[in-house]
Amino acid sequence: MTNDPAVPAPERKPSGFSNLVLHLHPRLVPAAALPLPLTFGLGGAAAVLFLLLAVTGALLLVVYEPSPERAYGTVVRLVDEVPFGALVRNAHHWAANGLVLVTALHLLRVFYRGGHLPPRRGNWFAGVALLFLVVGCAFTGYLLPWDQLAFWAVTISTGMLEYVPVLGSTLLRAARGGADVGPSTLARFFVLHVAILPIALLVLLAFHFWLVRKVGGVILPAGAGDRAAPRGELVPTSPNLTRREGAAALVVTAAVMLAAALRDAPLLAQANPGMSPNPAKAPWYFMGVQELLVHLHPVLGAVGVPLLGIGLLLALPAIGGPERPSGRWFGSPRGARHAVLAAAVAAVATAAAVVANEPLRRGKPWLGSLPPGVRSGLLPLVLASLVLLSVAWLSRRRGATRQEAVQSAFTFALASFAVLTVVGVLFRGPGMALGMP
């Protein structure tokens, strides 16, 4: 080997890890895209949680047996006899719940920074599909312990399918593998949870990453950057971005392990189809829908409103108008004020409606003899739709852009559903009666 400076040094080839990183990221990234408030690291946190679920799930499969006769016993043995078995199960449980929450927050972050508008519509649809797959993964895993909590939560959740007009019974039998939750249900949920849904999630996740790179990564708001990191300056991905991502991954992992050490995943008595707990509740991410069933006709609460919500999510890029992504939270300070006001009004109005409807739900109308339209929930649904349109109209009247008006209406609906979820999880007691937690 020569030390002659005229002889160029051999080019250093990137390591295997560097190759992986550069497949996920470009070699250079804008320095102005590195500050945490632009994304809060939610996408990376979701990816870390998915990896934690894959690792802990693989460890659980060493012990778990997917049959009604042995499933509960294997979970008990895992918790009581296998070294660190309870910690692994707890970590899997909290990572699954965390992934549902973080994925939803990531989708909201994209929406409130305009990332659903052209030219990023395709990535928005991919994100919505990822959210549904994540919820599907969490829900199918919910049944696997085969205890009272899991059995009746799945019974209630799948029972909502029966309210679908015409196809209800067919969808119910397809989900359960029969008329009731039983061995066929457990077998189907197991295969979906450990193979079909994770593979679909992994493929769609890779497509999502590719779309992010295709559109240029994180949206930079106008005026982003400062003297230390001008807007147009590019810096190497490693270590400028990878160091931040590594630190965030350690924080997420530590949070999951801390939750696993402090609070055990729930495990009640073995599933008993003949004894329903009181109250029997769906998983928390379906509690908003179950709460709707308390107030509305089942067809509206279990089918109509959820379909309208899904339709709204898919239509947001179109109804947002021809505006381009601003990259700013809520579009502008005015948009933020309108969104906060809409959320506050929705929270108060929804909570008041829940309390006011309690006497009616118990068969004691507080306005005397109410017409069938009110009792069935059709009138409240029409009124809610008019309120959403009024929120958007008032925002426009106060100088908001079309996107900010849509944002206000969406925030109103989101806050209402969040209140219904909190009420269902914390304030519904025996007989689904209102009460303190």
Domain boundaries, the chain: 28-223+233-275, 278-437
CA distances from 94 to 153, 252, 286, 397 (A): 18, 11, 17, 44
Residue with tokens 């609070």: 263
Write the class of the CATH domain 28-223+233-275: mainly alpha
Cα 142 from Cα 79, distance rounded (Å): 17
Local confidence band at 141 (pLDDT 50, 70, 90 cut-offs): very high
Is 198 within 8 Å of 92 (Cβ atoms)? no
Average pLDDT, the chain: 84
Q: Which of 79 and 14 is assigned the larger pLDDT?
A: 79
DSSP string across 99-122: HHHHHHHHHHHHHHTTTTSTT-HH
E runs forming strands in 207-330: 234-236
Q: Is the pLDDT of residue 154 over 80?
A: yes
Three-class SS state of 235: strand
Q: Which of 192 and 409 is assigned the larger pLDDT?
A: 192
Q: Is the pLDDT of residue 378 over 80?
A: no
Is 355 within 8 Å of 366 (Cβ atoms)? no
Three-class SS state of 199: helix
Local confidence band at 382 (pLDDT 50, 70, 90 cut-offs): low
Work out the percent of the chain whose per-residue pLDDT is above 90. Answer: 49
> What are 273-307's pLDDT values in tens digits?
989 888 889 999 999 999 988 888 888 888 888 99
